[in-house]
Amino acid sequence: KKIAIFASGNGSNAENIIQYFKNSNQGTVVAVFSNNSNAKVVEKAKNHQIPVVVFPKSELNAGFVLHELHRFQPDLIVLAGFLLKFPEFILKEYPKVINIHPALLPKYGGKGMYGNHVHQAVLENKEKETGITIHYVNEHYDEGEFIFQKAVNIEDCKSPEEIAQKVHELEQRYFPEIIEKLIPNI
C-alpha cells in the first residue's frame, strides 16, 4: 500500500516511518508533503530519495495539494507533526488519514495544542502520566476515532522538554508498527 506523509517540522517521525517501511512488505512511503520549505523534514525526505511536495498554506485549500495527491494515489495519509487543519474536501476523496498526537486524547487536544504547548499544559496540571494517541482524522481537530494509545509515567519530569523526550520515545517505538498493523484493514 502507498503511504503519503504530511509534516511541517523536524520530521523525526516521518524519517522513522520512511526507514521502517524500507523493510516492510506492507507499505511504501511514496511522498512527503510539507507546508514549510525550510522544515527539516524536507531535507530528511530528500536524503531518503522520497519525492517531496512543498506547498504554501493557501494551496492546501485550493487545488494544488489534491492535484498532487492524485499523482501519487496514496492508500493512507499519515500526519506526522502536521500543523495545519486537514481540509474536509480532501478527506472526502482520501478518507484514510491518521494523525499522531503527543498526549492522551481527549485531554490536551484541539487548536493550539501542539509541540511543547501540550507538554507545558500537562506539566502545569501535574499529570502523573501522558502518552501518545494515534487516531483517524475527521473534520475536527484531534477528534477522530482512536486507533492506539500508550501511556508513560512522567512523575520524574521537571520540564516540558523532559516530557517531550519520553513522548518521542513512544512515538518512535510505536507509530510505524501501528501503521503497519493498520494497513491490511484499509
Residues that are catalytic: 101
- Work out whether 144 is an interface residue with ligand GRF (CB under 6 A): no
C-alpha cell read off for 180: 503497519
Query: Which lies closer to ligand GRF via its Cβ, residue 60 or residue 92?
Result: 60
Instruction: Compute the distance between CA of residue 143 and CA of residue 106 in angstroms, rounded to an integer.
Output: 7
- The count of other CB atoms within 10 Å of the CB of residue 19 is 13
Instruction: Compute the distance between CA of residue 6 and CA of residue 68 in angstroms, rounded to an integer.
Output: 12
Residue nearest to ligand GRF (CB): 81
Query: Which lies closer to ligand GRF via its Cβ, residue 12 or residue 120?
Result: 12
Task: Tell me how far, at minimum, the Cβ of 12 lies from ligand GRF, in Å.
Answer: 3
**C-alpha distance from residue 92 to each of 59, 68, 74, 137 (Å):** 17, 16, 14, 11
Q: Which of 4, 29, 77, 81 binds ligand GRF (CB under 6 A)?
A: 81
- Work out whether 171 is an interface residue with ligand GRF (CB under 6 A): yes
Give the x-and-dash track for 97-136 against ligand GRF (CB under 6 A). ---xxx-----------x----------------------
- Work out whether 149 is an interface residue with ligand GRF (CB under 6 A): no
Instruction: Compute the distance between CA of residue 159 and CA of residue 137 in angstroms, rounded to an integer.
Output: 29
Task: Tell me how far, at minimum, the Cβ of 118 lies from ligand GRF, in Å.
Answer: 8
Instruction: Compute the distance between CA of residue 123 and CA of residue 66 in angstroms, rounded to an integer.
Output: 39
Instruction: Compute the distance between CA of residue 104 and CA of residue 124 in angstroms, rounded to an integer.
Output: 15
Q: Known binder of ligand: residue 16? A: no
Stretch of 9-17, 20-28, 85-93, 136-144 lying at the interface with ligand GRF (CB under 6 A): 9-17
CB 119 within 8 A of CB 163: yes
Instruction: Compute the distance between CA of residue 64 and CA of residue 58 in angstroms, rounded to an integer.
Output: 9
- Work out whether 7 is an interface residue with ligand GRF (CB under 6 A): yes
Residue numbers belonging to the annotated binding site: 11-13, 57, 99
Residues near ligand GRF (CB under 6 A): 7, 9-14, 80-81, 100-102, 114, 171
Residue numbers belonging to the annotated binding site for (6R)-10-formyltetrahydrofolate: 57, 99
